[in-house]
Amino acid sequence: MKLGLVFRIGTIMLLAVFLLQPDWFAFVFAPMTKNGQPAIYVQNSLLSLTISHLLIVFAATLAASAVAIGLAIAVTRPIGREFLPLSRTIANAGQTFPPVAVLALAVPVLGFGTEPTLLALFLYGLLPIFENALTGLTTVPPQVEEAARGMGMTDRERLWQVELPLALPLILAGVRISAVIAIATAAIGSTVAASTLGEAIIAGLINSNLAFVAQGALVISALAILIHDGIGALERRVGRHLIQG
Amino acid sequence: MIEIEHLSKTYDGRTVVDDVSMRIADGELVVVVGTSGSGKTTLLRMINRLVEPSAGKVSIDGVDCRAIAPHLLRRQIGYAIQGHGLFPHRTVSQNIATVPGLLGWDKAKISARVDELLSLFQLDPAEFRDRYPGQLSGGQQQRIGVARALAAAPKLLLMDEPFGALDPIIRARAQLDLRDIQRRLGTTIVLVTHDMNEAILLGDRIAVMDQARLLQYDTPRKIVVSPATAFVGELLGSGERPFRLLALQPVRDFVEPGMAEGQPIDANSSLRDALEEALWSGRKAVPVRDASGALLGRVTLETAIRQAAPQR
Ligand SMILES: Nc1ncnc2c1ncn2[C@@H]1O[C@H](COP(=O)(O)OP(=O)(O)OP(=O)(O)O)[C@@H](O)[C@H]1O
Ligand SMILES: [Mg+2]
């Protein structure tokens, strides 16, 4: 527990220092370069790439959460129940498209830039959140459901006061999975000119500069770990009373 | 007064509650007893419209339940079930506050009510108010479940096997507590069980159900002395009938003047307890004391044996 906290704070500080003063770390990356190539990517600052990477991930995950949770609520209500299988199929189909294919298909319509990336991440993020929200909303213990109805809660009161709070840890787990996938996948967006950390990786690949590739990949990994860890902690917090004694 | 008139429920052509009629007076504790699948739960759930009747009607104090929106009806009727159904994400006080909250009581009134109920169920408010259901024992969870059902002071409380998940010792205590609280609050209770002992112990009246039908609706004594059908007799356990009859008669009513040797028994215990005590200690009579410990007289083995047979 203590060790975990030290590790967390350590990772955040290291990442922050690296993004603010990348030059201090030139000695680490220099051995990966050849023929006097620059050791640190400077076309765009790593800090601004990280910020825009995170903004894209945040926007896409937020939109995916809203739509997926909304959809899961809709198909678990009496009126929407007949659409349950259909919605599952659609969400599954979204997941089988490789993100690159979504980008390729979206560019002609949306043009180069951030939009096709957002679309791909959004579609990609739907399924895990939808599946988890669905599981959470449909596995409320029957006695709890029965008590809520027996005490005179309306359908809406039951949703807000019982079903959603009980499903929250699972929903957060879905958001966590989606966000981590999005962090990794956003890098591909740089192939269609979205401003993400993928830019450093692509520049490194084109110029055979392993240092650039390593910088991009390391920052992306650190972000993924921190987000995974942060949302995971939140899940445990909201779920800590839910284990029935 | 609750009037159940010709109530029936049919699922896909199969009748699971068949033309049941009964009247329940205010303040009565009615126990519905029967084998598994006989329709007890369905009957109970038709009273608060968790199940809509296929035919017949229920009225409470002369008001047809169909005239009230189901969720509003249910807020007036307490409901406690087996396995309690407490909300795991809410504290004890939040759980108890559920119905008062739905009814829009103000905060101060709700918190006073929560503390009052916790004390009534012998749980220290300061200690238990902020616990979560996962931090309680099964017996405590069950008490909170009943406290929650009583929170808005309903005139009627429906209970579906409320003690089913408890071990025998905790169950016995919970049964006595319920009886006590019911007497004190004057709540009308309809309680479902498949335990005949529980029915006889708690019921002012017992409704015996089998295969969707109400076979007999009577006082425990009548049920024991003259079961309406062979099935009711079977449910009572024919070998146990004399003892069940004794269990219904308090020692208090049979005290006679005179002395007896040995350990006295409480006037509020039953003739069955007196008989057991006498047989076990080989005595012909047992002294009787009241709650304060003062000796009232004695009760004889002969009396117990005489009272074990149905009176002519
Ligand atoms: N929603 C339903 N749809 C179809 N059949 C049902 C439904 N609910 C109950 N039944 C059937 O009605 C019959 C009576 O059920 P009920 O739950 O009232 O029995 P019970 O007396 O409470 O039994 P137990 O002691 O096991 O709880 C059973 O055969 C059950 O299968
Ligand atoms: Mg039942």
pLDDT digits (tens, 9 = 90+) for B116-165: 999 999 999 999 999 999 999 999 999 999 999 999 999 999 999 999 88
Contacts of A165 in chain B (CB under 8 A): 89
- Tens digits of per-residue pLDDT, B81-98? 988 899 999 999 999 999
pLDDT averaged over every residue in chain B = 93
Q: Poorest-confidence range of A61-70, A214-223, B290-299?
A: B290-299
Cα A203 to its chain centre, rounded Å, is 24
List residues near ligand 1 (CB under 6 A). Answer: B 11, 16, 34, 36-42, 194
Q: How far apart are CA A74 and CA A72, in angstroms?
A: 5
Q: How confident is the model at residue A243 (pLDDT cuts 50, 70, 90)?
A: low
Is 1.10.3720.10 the CATH classification of the domain at A43-244? Answer: yes
* Residue B192 Cα to ligand 2 middle (Å): 7
ipTM for this model: 0.86
For B261: left if phi > 0, alpha if psi spans -120 to 50, otherwise beta; the answer is beta
Q: For A190-202, write each residue's pLDDT tens digit.
A: 888 889 999 999 9
Domains, chain B, in order of start with CATH, read: 1-76+156-171+187-236 (3.40.50.300), 89-154 (no CATH), 244-307 (3.90.1280.20)
For residue B12, which atom of ligand 1 is closest to its CA? 4
Q: Which residues contact B275 (CB under 8 A, 6 or more apart)?
A: B243, B246, B301, B304, B305, B308
Q: How far is the CA of A220 from the centre of ligand 1 (A)?
A: 56
> Best residue in A144, A151, A155 to probe B by mutation, most B CBs within 10 Å?
A151
A245, pLDDT greater than 50 = no
Give me the sheet containing B205-210, strands edge to edge: B77-81, B156-160, B188-193, B29-34, B205-210, B213-218
Q: Greater confidence, B218 or A96?
A: B218
| Chain B residues touching A244 at Cβ < 8 A | 88, 133-134
